[in-house]
Structure formats: C-alpha cells, structure tokens
Structure 1
Amino acid sequence: MVDPKEVAENILKIAKKQGCAAQVNMLKSESKEISLRKGEIEQLLTSVDISTGVRLFKGKKSIVIAFSGKDFGNMESKLANALESIDFLSEDKYKRLLKPAEFSGPVRDLELTDNAFEKLDISTIKEALQRIESGALAFSNKIIPSDMADFSGSRTDIHQFTTEGLSKSFFKTSYSFSYTAVAEDKDKGLKERDSWSEYKRHFNELPNLEEIGRIGEIAAEKAVKRLGGKKIKSGERKVVFFRPTAGDLLDLLCDAVDGEEIVLKNSFLVDKLGEKLFPDIITVMDDPLIKRYPGSYPFDGEGVTGMPKAVIEKGKLLTYLHNSYSAGKLNMKLTGNASRGISAEPHIAVGNFHLQSGQGSLEDLLHEMKEGLLVNELYVSGINSVTGDFSFGCTGFLVENGVATIPVKEITIAGNLLELYGNVVAIADDNLWKSTITSPSMLVSKLAVAGT
C-alpha cells in the first residue's frame, strides 16, 4: 500500500536538498468498463494506474518529470537528471510555486465519492445493460442490434504537496450507462444513429433496474426520428439549439475566456473585460463547489480553493479564467481554475461552467419560435478563435407552427459567436449537468442557414 504523503514528503525533502522548490501531484485511478451486445458481454476492462508528477522550480525556471507505478527508488538521480535539463530552459518569472496565503482555504466535502465502486457486481451491471439494449430493440423494429450498451465506473484519488506546505487530497467516483441506437429503413436504404446516457457521481443515483431500459428507449426514439432527413433552402432563420448543441457553443465561449488564450491574444474576447457584450438574459457561471456535480472540485491543480464565479453577468464580461501563470502575466487575481496533469505544466480548466437557465421547456421555445430550425447535432469545426467567426455543419428538424416536423441534414450554420449570443432571446430550463460544460436549450432570433 503506497502512502502518498510519505512518498511526497521524501520527494520534497530530496528537492530541497538539491536546492529546488517542488510540487508533487499523485494520482491513483481505478476503472471498470463493460460493453454488451446481443445480450452478452463483449468487453470487460479493469485498470489501476498510479502516476506521480513532480514540478521542480529553480530560480525562474521550472520543469516537470513524471513516472508511473510504485517504483519510487533512485529518486535523487531522477531529480538530478531533470535539473541538468532545466539549465537549458529560458527564464519565466511567472512560472512559480504558490505561497501558503494563496492555497490556505478549506478542503470542502462536495460528496464526490461513494463506497459503491469496490462493490460493483458484474452480474447486476450485465442485467442493466441487457435491459438498456432490450429497451431500444423493443421501441421499434427499425432498431438493429449494431452498437453496444456500455457501462463505465471509476474512482480517482488526487493528492497535492509542495515545499511551501501545501498538503491536500480529494477523491471522486463516477458512473455512467450509455447506448447508441442504430435505426434502419431497409425499404429506403437509410440508416441513422443517436445516443443517450446517464451519468452520476453516486451509483445509487443512476436509474434502477426497473427504469434503466429507458436509456435504450430514448436513444432509439432519437435515432428513428432522424430517418429520412432532407435538405432545406438557404436563408436567415430563427434557430433553437437543443441543450447538447447549446453546450457545444458554450464550450467555444469557454475557450474564449481561457486566461492562457487571452495571454496569447488568441481569443475574440481579448480586451473586452468589463464590456456589456450580450443581452441581460445571458449569465454564465463557473462553479466547482456544487455537490456531486461532474465538474466539481474542492481545490484546483495548484491547490487554490475552488470558487463560484460569474464569468458573464447579465451580458457583461466580468472575468477571465486563470491559473497562476495567466493571472501573473495579466496582473489579475487567481480564479481557482488551474488544472495540473501529471506530465505537464498547469493549464486552465473549469468546474461546472454553465449558461444560467431560464424558464420553460424545449417545447416552449419551439412554440415561441413558431417557424425555424431546431439544431440537435453540431459538427464543431471551422471557427476563427480570434474573431469568433464560425461555420458548422449540423442536423436537426424543421419547425413549423411551433412543432418539430421533418428531419433535416446536410445544412450549415454560419455567423459570429458574439453576434449569436447577442441574438439569444429565450433560454429553457432543461440543463442535465452531464459534463463540466453544460447549457440549457436556447432560442436565437436570427442566423444564416445554408442548405440547397
């Protein structure tokens, strides 16, 4: 049994002896993945990985070394070899180890772990996957048993220590069931696919055996509805972005407030801090302290206590997201958004980055729109990060008299991300919180749509 604190203290002691400051990150990851097709398990994978990353600081230079497993021998020579390389690096005064006052906050219990991972029963998981698959196949005779029903479970232990006195740990579990349904219309030679998943930090919050078949049913329903997609005429239209595609757009906005991208001037939000860019309906939050949520963490990759923050409030850009490097370069405050991998310098990450919900359902948005386009899948590529101009392929449904009617495909939407969010006129209350970046569905008053 590896004692992370004992190992880290030994590494820090050696680093000090060699005239360095240091940060030690230790990660233990366990996972179980099970896939089923036609009622039988086709894949069962389990893994346990222990990784250690050491970031060494000498003067105004830093270097990262990483190793896997439980072999902590020859640590003096490993650190000495790294320090020989550090002399070839250029100085950068903004690469630094945080002081105690910067990481002195509490480690909050965010209920990110349960005790179910070690007790996972393969036969129970198999039955759940069988019910998911059966739910899909029973929905329609157009569904074919092509893809697999999947389960994924994991437990991760995260430990951080520094020569400045940082000593913090937290633990998290995650579980998900998912299914991708394939629908086929043999008479017309058509095939479509769509998926559905459920994700939770605690296993007992997933659907029970009586309810879990619904995952397959939803995936099947979505796939069948996509059959027979047609092209539509080009023109300017009102557009509703269904929550997954609204999340894709928010992901791009998230990239634009990344402090490291601001430093590089690789964002259309450079020099716009404090400006009102969007209507009052747009408020974007980043909150890593929500209990049991996908992106939650009590402290970031540099030990800074996680903090809820309004990134955009009633249309006004209030802050960028920072680690110590970008905050130092821009002379701004830390925001608790550092993410430290094992083998790399810290970068920027978010915790439950979301567009604040409005009122009503997706159907309410369609009713308000009356005529237009419902986008349910985006192919996110082709964006100019400096200007915000984009052109994305997408699929969805034509909306007539407030109802989604025929499926549409091979269409392109184009515009500018600043203008798109500037034209948001309504937001639903249907966020599902399945990932670190999420959004409810939203209605945009006008957007260029290219079809035929």
Structure 2
Amino acid sequence: MTKEEKYTLAKWAMNHALENGAQQVSVSISNSTGSSVEVREEKIDKLEQAIQSGLSIRLFVDGKYSAHSTSRMKKEDLARFIEEAIDGTRYLSEDPFRTLPEPELYYKGGGKDLGALDANFNNIDPKTKIDLAFAAEQEVLGKDERLISVSSSYYDGLSERVMVTSNGFEGDTANSYFAIRTEVSVKGGDARPEFSWGESAIKFNDLKKDGTGTTALKRAIEKIGAEKIKSGTMPMLVENRVVGRLLGPVLEAINGASIQQKNSFLIDKLNEKVASDKLSITDDPFIVGGRGSRLFDGEGLATKKRSIFDKGVLKTYYIDTYYAKKLETEPTGGSTTNIVFEPGTKDLEGLIASIDKGIFVTGFNGGNCNGSTGDFSYGIDGFLIEKGQVVKPVSEMNITGNMKTLLMNIKELGSDVKTDSSVRTPSILFDAVDFSGS
C-alpha cells in the first residue's frame, strides 16, 4: 500500500467513525518489514522474515474513550469493525480528560529531513545479510582455546506510518535500522563468562560491519576469574553503553503518568536542583540521523528541543494531552526523543586514571528501583580499579542506594558519548556508592 493509499484509507475510516457517532477520531495505518539471520557452528540456525500491517483507531464517543487495532484492511471489514468498536465504547465510563490535542499544538509540516530512512532498504539481498552474520562468527572461531560457543546475528527493519485526526492533523513517518550482534561464552573455571556486542545504524552503508565478534570475545575473556570483593563505599564509573539502564528510572520519574499518580521521587521538583552541577541533559528531536529524532510525537504534537536538566536543575516533565488535562497544565509531549548528555572533557581512560579505588561497572544483572522513593538495588558486573588501573574483574555484587542521592553524587561525565542510541550517554563517574560483596 502506498503512502497515498494509506492516507485515503485512514481518512475514510475516520469519516466512517464520525458518521457512526464518534465526536473525535484518530487513525493510524502502519506497516513494517524485517529480517533476521542467526548463525551458529558455521550453519544457519535461524532465518526469519516478517511483514506486518495494521490500522489503529482511537475513538472519543459521548465523553468515553477506547482504542482498537486490526490487521483487516478491506473497507467492508473495517466498517463493521469500527461500528462495533463505537457500540462497545458507549458501555465504558465517561472520562472528561480524554480528548484529542488542541489543533494549534500539532505539527504543521515543512520540517527538515531527519535522515531516519534508508531509501535502499529493500535493495539489500539475502546473501549479503547471511554473509555478514557468518563473517561476524568467523571473527571468533578458532581464535581462543577457551571458547565454548559463539552465535552471530544480522537483523534489520523498516516501519512506515501515516496518521490523521478529525481535528486537523495529518502526518507520516518512516524509519529503518540495520544491526549485527555476536554473543560469546568462554571457559572460566566454574563459571562460563559471556558477553555480547552489537553494532547498528539507520542506513546500511553506515553500519560497522566488522568487529562485533572480536569485541565480544575480548570482553568475555576479560571476565574470566570474576569474583566478589569486600563490601564498601567507593566511586563507581559506569560505562557509557549501560548508563541508560541505571538512569532509566529518572526518565520514568518525570513522566506525566508517574507525576499524576504520585509514583515519582521527582514529584513537585520542577525548577529545583535535584542533581549535581555536572548534569545537563537536553531532549533534541532534530538531530539528523538521531535514533530518536522525529517531527511529531504519537499524538501529532510538534516536537521541540528542550532542556531536561540544566546544571542539576530539573526543567521539564514529559506530559501528554491526557495527563496535562489531569494536572491542569500544558502538554509537553508524552515521550522522549534524543536524550543528549552534555559531555565532560576526559575520555574513558582518563576517568579510570582519576580513580584511586573504585569499580568500573560494565553490566547490570537484575534489580529494581522504587519509583515513589527512588530506592534502588542492582546486581553489577565490572572491574576493580586501583590507583588508576583496572586490576581484576568483579561479579555477583550489588549496589544499593537512592536515586536522589546518586544524582547528587555525579562527579564527572566522560567525553565518550555513545551516539548509536536515542539515549546519547557518556560514561559517568559517581562518588560514594555502596557496594555489597563478600
């Protein structure tokens, strides 16, 4: 189905809903395609391709709201589907806060190309994909006698969507991605250290096509002999690629739902200092080639570049139309785009060199954070640092504390910003973190 055909069908579905009793309607039609290849022991272990399409409709009927989706795309099927959805919505309770956004907040078009799509996505032949997976595996096979297993994967995906609303919004998006990942396990005494490493890109020609196997093997071998060390309070350096796992609860705490439901340790903290002066974060939807770049959000609201933290001061919450009405404020958008950390001046090696004794965290194993209080406990893997040198691997240790304290204890951010993610994080050094070990 072409983009024009999607728009035509979406508008028809919207009008059919209006004609059958809905006062407001939002319709999205999307399609996606993707493929994956996994190889193991020099054989193809899995080969998959998926193609999906569907229509989603949000209905506002007599002060009541419901959302529905279907893969049936014929008008006669859709007509019955929409009519039954409207009839069912009438049985729901009224919710006066459920409405479409105000039209003046919508994206009006004319935005720049954000580089989110590889126009040649469909021109990558299957043999090329298979060869890339095998090449990643070959980087590992025969390279070390401690090797137990290796598997490598290639995968890609493309998604397209058009959306229309009954109060004037029309917009469409298209995104693609390509990725290679290798997982390795090795012999290490009673343990089987393992590690996986991936590379990804929006466009095929930008994909780093070698190195995943070599890196995964090296990182797995480095974990051999990992053990607990003595419990204590010490600096914690978190590698850039896992910082997002640690700070995810912070983003959840500034979400409108968490604020309205009073399930946030950052409630009523807007324009207050809640973190170290070192922490400045911007939400920038307009980075060309950014993984989270977009011109409008899931409701059609125009995106804006805005500050989240400015030298430790909390500057915004993520609030969609529904929670904005409940909180009696203006919507800011209900989800993140590109989370951009202001980097420091030291690279990873420089941060390590600055630590007299501490732990370099390279992975998290389970754990949780209480959204209301900010109390957390996480299992960690990593390395002991002494006198500015990595001396041995550590594992089976936990960190515990409170997110508000952790944010205040940010000592330094690195210059090693990870750009192949919508959360563009550098490595971060925290002071005085409680580690539980032997």
TM-score, length-normalised on structure 2?
0.95
User: Can you list the C-alpha shifts for 1:174-233, whole angstroms capped at 9, x where unaligned?
Assistant: 111111111113xx343110111111111100125xxx1x11111111000001111101
- Match for residue 250 of structure 2 among 248, 253, 257: 253
Shift of 1:384: 1.2
Tell whether the 8 Å contact from 2:17 to 2:86 is kept in structure 1 after alignment.
no
Following the alignment from structure 1 to structure 2, what is the Cα–Cα distance between the partners of residues 227 and 245? 20
Counterpart selection for 2:12 from 10, 13, 38: 10
3-state SS of 2:300 partner: coil
1:105 is aligned to 108
Q: Which runs of 4+ in 1 moved over 6 A?
A: none
For 2:152 and 2:57, the matched residues in 1 are separated by 39
Distance 1:40 1:132 in 2: 13
* Cα distance, 1:380 vs structure 2: 4.3
Deviations 1:231-285 (A, max 9, x none): 1011111111111332112211111111111110111001111111112210122
Offset of 1:38 from its aligned partner?
Answer: 2.3
Select the residue among 111, 120, 131 that pairs with 2:124: 120
C-alpha contact (below 8 Å) 2:320/2:332 kept by paired residues? yes
Q: 1:449 aligns with which of 428, 435, 438?
A: 435
Instruction: Quote the residue 2:52 is aligned against.
Output: 49
Whole-Å separation in 1 of the counterparts to 2:141 and 2:356:
34
Structure 1: gaps of 5 or more residues: 338-348
Structure 1 residue 363 and structure 2 residue 349: aligned?
yes
Deviation at 1:139, TM superposition (A): 4.2
Alignment RMSD: 1.6
The residue number in structure 2 matching 1:343 is none
Percent of aligned pairs with the same amino acid? 28
Instruction: Give the alignment of 1:399-414 within 5 angstroms.
Output: 399-414=385-400
Tell me if structure 2 keeps the 8 A contact 1:250–1:438: no
> Does 2:164 correspond to 1:161?
yes
Pair 1:233 & 2:233 matched? no
Separation of aligned partners in 2, 1:380 and 1:257: 23
Whole-Å separation in 1 of the counterparts to 2:79 and 2:121? 36
Question: C-alpha separation between the residues in 2 aligned to 1:76 and 1:46?
Answer: 30
Q: From 371, 382, 400, give the equivalent of 1:396.
A: 382
CA distance in 2, matches of 1:226, 1:320: 39
Which residue pairs with 1:141 in the alignment? 145
Counterpart residue number, 2:369:
383
Q: Give the CA deviation at 1:122.
A: 2.0
More deviation, 414-423/90-99: 90-99
Alignment counterpart, residue 407 of structure 2, candidates 399, 412, 421: 421
The answer to whether the Cα contact below 8 Å between 1:241 and 1:441 also exists between their aligned partners in 2 is yes
Which residue pairs with 1:38 in the alignment? 41
What is the number of residues matched between the two proteins? 434
Whether the 8 Å contact between 1:288 and 1:296 is mirrored in structure 2 is yes
Matched with 1:85 is 88
Counterparts of 2:405 and 2:244 in 1: how far apart (Å)? 17
Matched, 1:181 2:184: yes
Q: Distance in 2 between matches of 1:415 and 1:74?
A: 54
Q: Distance in 2 between matches of 1:371 and 1:57?
A: 59
**Cα offset for 1:28?**
0.4
| CA distances 1:80-111 after superposition (whole Å, capped 9, x unpaired) | 21222222222222210123211143343111
1:105/1:313 CA distance change after superposition, 3 Å: farther
Q: TM-score, normalised by structure 1?
A: 0.92
| Aligned-residue offset at 1:333 | 2.4
Structure 1 contact 273–317 (Cα < 8 Å) conserved:
yes
- State the AA in 1 paired with 2:178: Y
